[in-house]
Structure 1
Amino acid sequence: MDIDRYLDRINYKGSLAPNLTTLKRLQKAHLLAVPFENLDVHTQTPIKLDTKHIYEKIAANNRGGFCYELNGLFYKLLNILGYDVKRISARVYIENTGYSPEYDHLTIIAHIGDEDYLTDLGFGDFLFEPIALARDNEIYDGRNHYSVDMYNDEYWRINKSNDGESTPEFIFKNIDRKFEEFENRCNYHQTNPDSSFVRKRLISLPTKDGRVTLTGNTLKLTRNSKTIESREIDAVDFPNILWEKFRIKL
């Protein structure tokens, strides 16, 4: 991995000391530069759990990815920079259904000082900075409120609060996992017709005060939690929107 090229891709300049301040800056820079997207699923391009392959896609070809790619590559970067990190299997909360199977989401735990911090680039509209794993911990990242508690006394749970209502995001055990353990769910999400990623294309990128998202054929722009634009696009618009809004060429 060419570290300098990766850091250029996420527009990061500054200290690389493996501490919490650097991690906060790396996470925010990455989120603002690299979109969450599943476009390969809709071009039938296999998504491989191979760091070299993911690096070429994201750093060299200016693409984004979904959790296995974004967090898989970020884990490698943090490991090279000297962080004590784990790949973590998370189960995503689905309304009216409960929690998805293990390995449905790949997230990262970084051990810094005496604390463990969750850092995540691959969950769509999510935290801008790491959150410490401590019961009843709460954080406001400048946009939303998040909290940490326990689920069934064996899982950590991350919750998101909006207008006083708290909704679970996902649960996980603080257990280190191997990259290949996520392969079955990664394949499910790119091939199974029941997967939301197969049903609809998605590309989303936060801005400092909002988000731009293309879901199916609907382009939506938000600012300060309010929709400022929503419109349908056609096949002719699609490549132009990809470049204009996300700086991506397929």
Structure 2
Amino acid sequence: MDPMDVDEYLTRLGVARPAAADLATLRHLQERHLAAVPFENLSIHLGEHITLDEDALFDKIVRRRRGGFCYELNGLFAALLRALGYDASLRAAQVFHADGTPGPPLDHAAIVVSLDEQWLVDVGFGRFSRHPLRLSGVDAQADPEGEFLLLDAPHGDVDVLLDGKPQYRLERRPRPLADFVPMTWWQATSPSSHFTRSLTCSRPTSQGRVTLSGDKLIETVDGVRNELRLTSPEAIRAAYRVYFGMTLTRLPTPPDESPLTSGALSPTLP
């Protein structure tokens, strides 16, 4: 990532170029990224091809002011961190199912930053920590989103828990972004993927979180959830613009109207 791209990315986050690649700066960058860049899967329901290429991700997230899901958001954020002087690399993770069993390998991509010790950074998991988490920490770590606990897991992996509930199992070894290409394709095309079966755009706010799911706008303020049904395409477009800074020329197709969930498309894994 060249210096001009770095400056444009930082402008997207509303951040001045930092003087040092330290923990305080990392914390601020993570907070600003989460606030400015939404977690969203609109590309899947707009028929847009998702490419894990740094230039393509930069164009989408920075220049077109969109968001993305984990592979896109953490993939590009890791590149920014490296350009700013951090030792940042991607890690694969298995997201836990509701029954407590881990999902498939490479189900999620997160970032590990090495400073005086290693820190888990994640801007692509929806509701997750707003601040870096100490990877070697044995005690609970307080965060605006709740209490996180990182525990040793089989094969040297790390289980990440939020308020006692397992979130994902993190690998220790670094992964290049290219390793996530097959799983990105599966997540974006398979009728079994929760991304093809749901439509979401979400980001944290100073008082909670705001989420737009199709025509349903959900705002959580100080723990109180408010839900509003939007009754027109104009209102939905306005919500994307006002709450997420996104100007859409067309709206995504709701999952129940998509061929991905109607059985018209049944991809096979490569």
CA contact (8 A) 2:209 2:220 kept: yes
Aligned residue in 2 for 1:232: 229
User: Does the C-alpha gap of structure 1 residues 107 and 143 become closer, same or farther in structure 2, counting only changes over 3 Å?
Assistant: closer
CA contact (8 A) 2:156 2:172 kept: no
Query: How far does residue 38 in structure 1 lie from its aligned partner after superposition?
Result: 0.5
Report how many aligned residue pairs link the two structures: 244
Aligned residue in 1 for 2:102: 99
* Cα separation, 1, equivalents of 2:221 and 2:153: 33
Matching residue's letter, 2:138 = D
Matching residue's letter, 2:227 = S
* Cα separation, 1, equivalents of 2:61 and 2:67: 6
* Cα separation, 2, equivalents of 1:237 and 1:102: 39
2:84 to 77, 81, 88: 81
Aligned residue in 1 for 2:159: 157
Aligned residue in 1 for 2:129: 127
User: Does the C-alpha gap of structure 1 residues 5 and 194 become closer, same or farther in structure 2, counting only changes over 3 Å?
Assistant: same
* Cα separation, 1, equivalents of 2:175 and 2:22: 23
1:185 to 183, 186, 195: 183
Matching residue's letter, 1:158 = V
* Cα separation, 2, equivalents of 1:77 and 1:179: 14
* Cα separation, 2, equivalents of 1:10 and 1:73: 13
Query: How far does residue 218 in structure 1 lie from its aligned partner after superposition?
Result: 1.6
* Cα separation, 2, equivalents of 1:36 and 1:155: 25
Give the alignment's TM-score, normalised by structure 1.
0.94
Query: How far does residue 72 in structure 1 lie from its aligned partner after superposition?
Result: 0.3
Query: How far does residue 153 in structure 1 lie from its aligned partner after superposition?
Result: 5.4
SS at match of 1:200: coil
Deviations 1:213-248 (A, max 9, x none): 012332100012221x20222433221111121110
CA contact (8 A) 2:135 2:150 kept: yes
CA contact (8 A) 2:129 2:144 kept: no
Aligned residue in 2 for 1:21: 24
CA contact (8 A) 1:150 1:156 kept: yes
Aligned residue in 2 for 1:53: 56
CA contact (8 A) 2:210 2:218 kept: yes
* Structure-to-structure mapping, 1:111-150, within 5 angstroms: 111-113=114-116, 115-150=117-152
SS at match of 1:98: coil
Aligned residue in 2 for 1:69: 72
Q: Give the root-mean-square deviation of aligned CA atoms.
A: 1.3
User: Does the C-alpha gap of structure 1 residues 80 and 14 become closer, same or farther in structure 2, counting only changes over 3 Å?
Assistant: closer
Matching residue's letter, 2:107 = D
CA contact (8 A) 2:7 2:17 kept: no
Structure 1 spans left out of the alignment, 5+ residues = none
Aligned residue in 1 for 2:14: 11
Query: How far does residue 154 in structure 1 lie from its aligned partner after superposition?
Result: 2.5
CA contact (8 A) 1:88 1:109 kept: yes
* Cα separation, 1, equivalents of 2:157 and 2:214: 34
Higher strand fraction (1 or 2): 1
Aligned residue in 1 for 2:46: 43
* Cα separation, 2, equivalents of 1:109 and 1:236: 41
* Cα separation, 2, equivalents of 1:188 and 1:153: 25
* Cα separation, 1, equivalents of 2:89 and 2:153: 20
Query: How far does residue 51 in structure 1 lie from its aligned partner after superposition?
Result: 0.6
Query: How far does residue 151 in structure 1 lie from its aligned partner after superposition?
Result: 2.0
1:248 and 2:250 equivalent? no
Query: How far does residue 142 in structure 1 lie from its aligned partner after superposition?
Result: 2.6
* Cα separation, 2, equivalents of 1:172 and 1:10: 27
CA contact (8 A) 1:137 1:149 kept: no
1:109 and 2:112 equivalent? yes
Aligned residue in 1 for 2:172: 174
SS at match of 2:211: strand
Identity over aligned residues, as a percent? 34
